[in-house]
Amino acid sequence: MTGAYIALGSNLGDARGHVLGALDALARLPGVRVLARSPLYLTPPWGVLEQPPFVNAVAHVDTVLAPQELLDALLVIERAAGRVRDGERWGPRTLDLDVLHMDGVEQADERLTLPHPRIHERAFVLLPLNDLAPGLELPGQGRVAELLAALDTAGLERLP
């Protein structure tokens, strides 16, 4: 088993429901065991600013799946939630699932880069990741808690 962190986000329709549904779907994946999940956060959009706020979370899982297999499984969950990948980056979506980090895995190819190359820029990822693993060292980026401390978290709100 390999530990991995998965980012979850949604800002269309029932965003909270999409994220919670994705957590349930993740727990049902063969070869994946959800160890913990962060609280949900309401966060302002990133990249494309003219869109609704997001609901974001991070899940910590153990998996026997290889990185590409895990990514493929996440894409199936996205499609089941109505996600259409139309090439628009950072736009609105019913569900977005990203592999952030897998223990002992560093890779970069056309489909997947691990650790995720922009974690250090994204408070909406670091805040929930910090709830689960503040001491996690992301190769080439730094320790989660230190990366989060360097970012502005104004406008990020923990949901009840």
Active site residues: 83, 93, 96, 98
> From residue 154, how far is each of 4, 34, 125, 148 by CA, in Å?
27, 29, 14, 12
CA distance 145 to 160: 22
DSSP label at 120? G
Residue among 44, 43, 68, 72 at smallest CA distance from 58 = 43
* 98 touches 6 (CB < 8 A): yes
